[in-house]
Structure 1
Amino acid sequence: MPVCENCNYKWTYGQTTIEQLRLRKVMRCPNCHEKQYSTKKSQAIDVIISLVLIFTLVTVKNMDQPSLINIFLYAVGIFTVQQLVRPFITSLSNTKTTL
């Protein structure tokens, strides 16, 4: 779980998930309310996971003509797994960095 660099508050799984689902680049610490940003390392890991999951989706799509419903369900499953894993790989920084 991420830790605030200002107050060393360890975020809970729920707090991290809610902040990430808001799709903002800035996350506010629930304890001290200071701005926190994802580190380059956690951004890179998130991109790698996304690419791997997209690659597996394309691979499944090309296998023996699966139905659109199966592809959709697989895509929803991939998104769900990614969202469940993201809080564990997120690390925070006081400074804004871009990948």
Structure 2
Amino acid sequence: MLPTCQHCHTPWTYTDTLKNMLQLRCPYCQQKNYLSKKVRMRDALFSLLPIPIMILFNVSFPWILGLGANIILVLALIYPYIIQLSKHEDPLW
């Protein structure tokens, strides 16, 4: 499911979401949206994933960089479907 602006409640298209992935500004009402606390926590934990893989499987750093690049590419393509927006930026803790 694609995100919906939390101010004007207009659903964003896939292209709108990709264009606004960094700013999260609604293309319809121009209001700033924020990632929900749940999504930010998930993203933070997911970014630490290569570290245990490197330690547990004794994988070289260049291999992890390649894996990380592929993960980033896949996430960029599916990210519009997995983000949730919030009106306010909630603290992580």
Task: Please classify the TM superposition score into its range, dividing by the shorter chain length.
Answer: 0.7 to 0.9
TM-score by length of 2: 0.74
Say whether 1:90 aligns with 2:86: no
TM-score by length of 1: 0.70
Identity of aligned residues (%): 31
Say whether 1:8 aligns with 2:1: no
Higher strand share: 1
Structure-to-structure mapping, 1:72-83, within 5 angstroms:
72-83=65-76
Give the secondary structure class of the aligned counterpart of 2:33: strand
Q: Distance in 2 between matches of 1:74 and 1:61?
A: 13
Q: Distance in 2 between matches of 1:45 and 1:19?
A: 20
* 1:15, distance to aligned residue in structure 2 (A): 1.7
Task: Give the gaps of 5 or more residues in structure 2.
Answer: none
The runs of at least 4 consecutive aligned structure 1 residues that moved more than 3 Å come to none
Task: Give the gaps of 5 or more residues in structure 1.
Answer: none
Aligned length: 91
- Contact persistence 2:54–2:64 (CA under 8 A): no
